[in-house]
Chain A
Amino acid sequence: MLPAYEELVAWLPELLAGLTISLQVAALSLLFGMPLGLLLALGVIARSRILKTVSLVLVEIGRGAPALVLLQFIYFGLPATGLTLGSFTAAVVALAWNTGAYTSEIIRASLQSIPRGQRDAAEAIGLTGVDELRYVLLPQALRVALPPLLGFSILIFQGTSLCFTIALPELVSRAYEIGSGTFRYFPVLLAAGCLYAAVSVPAAILVGHVEKRAGRYAER
């Protein structure tokens, strides 16, 4: 059942190339998605009605629909509007949207967790709304949000596996291709699983530590 050594050596370059694409898609999605999440979080709590509604709709769809459906909506659906994206771009757009929606909720919750007195004090010393956010609220909120944001980053990395469905040559696609070529599905998929776990498990352990430390910080 297990892959033979020679097989592994033969597959590894292909699988690693896939892993690289998975990591690239994840990194870019987070890079665009997290700032988007911040903007959406601010949009949802904004006073402007239009801003609020637009942000809410983007957030609710981005988290309410499965990432797989978002991906297919953008890759297979958008061309109808004349906008055709390559599978890599479509993957980044969909996962960044998904990231933005989730992280906006994380950031919003962490903003709300900051004691009311911090706002009072910031306003009492005359800081404007923007300065209050920039110097008082966000630095504290992001510290609270860090562990869940890191945890979500792992999910997005795993979420890149969905790009199999839009023919992006990431890790699962490559493993599946090797499997259908050699009919050695189990060993090659298992190898791909090990590569995912090799990234996700240490990352999850790390996040666990950050979480514990953040908990200690909060107690002080």
Chain B
Amino acid sequence: MSQADIFVILRGLPWTVALTLGAFLIGSIVAVPLLAARESQFLPLRLFAMSLIQVVRGIPPLLWLFIIFFGLGMSYFPISPFVAALTGLGLIAAANMAEIYRGALKSIHHGQWEAANALDLGRLSTVAFIIAPQALRVALPSAASYLIGLMKETAVASTIGVAELAFQGNRLSQLTFQGLEVFAVVGLLYVVLSLPVAWLSRSADAYLRSKVAA
């Protein structure tokens, strides 16, 4: 494999990064109202949110992208591969992040709720000022490993033609008939991409830990 070939593959890098960060951002934000609905006192809303989360997670990401790109895009309103992938992966990320937030919330000792109630803070202030800051710290490691998982998940976007890493690898292997090296390099790139996230997560965790301890 020549140096030029590697540059061809690297052309997919921005797309992979954009897709990963975009979907993660969408997911992290949409997950908040989704979780609120999931924990709502209003039963129909709660049931709706619970089933939505289950169904989104119950269908493979690749099929979600197909449903959005081929199902909706080809038949009802045209949509670009990138936007379709961003929508699908963002949706999946929202469902998964909602579960991560929920696990973190549950891990906060109920004494914290009681203490906040004793101070007569409202539910919203309690969550915003007491619970959420602690929960975020707990959620961080899972969120970081989910971010890495999501980054690998973005490879499915190649199937609807987003020109990211796996897509470039695929095209190059068809051009050069050197699938072995090409896919090895592509696989390695994903591993390399996950390193800074893992590193960031570890240092952020250590930083937050020291802040809580102090």
Contact = CB atoms under 8 A, between A and B. Distances in A.
A and B in contact, CB less than 8 Å? yes
Contacts of B190: 64-66, 69
Interface stretch (B33-41, B113-121, B174-182): B174-182
A8 interface: no
Nearest to B67: A189
B58 A196 contact: yes
Given A79-B179, A80-B180, A175-B63, 19 more contacts: A64-B191, A64-B194, A68-B156, A68-B158, A69-B169, A69-B183, A73-B179, A73-B187, A80-B178, A158-B59, A158-B61, A161-B60, A162-B156, A179-B71, A183-B74, A186-B67, A186-B70, A186-B72, A197-B54
A44 to B, nearest CB: 17
Interface in B164-189: 166, 169-170, 173, 177-184, 186-188
Interface of A: 1, 60-61, 64-70, 72-73, 76-81, 158-162, 164-165, 172, 175-176, 179, 183, 185-186, 189-190, 192-193, 196-197, 200-201, 204-205
6 contacts: A64-B190, A69-B166, A72-B179, A77-B182, A196-B60, A197-B55
Contact of A196 (B63, B156, B173): B63
Contact of B184 (A1, A60, A73, A158): A73
A47 B198 CA distance: 26
B183 A77 contact: yes
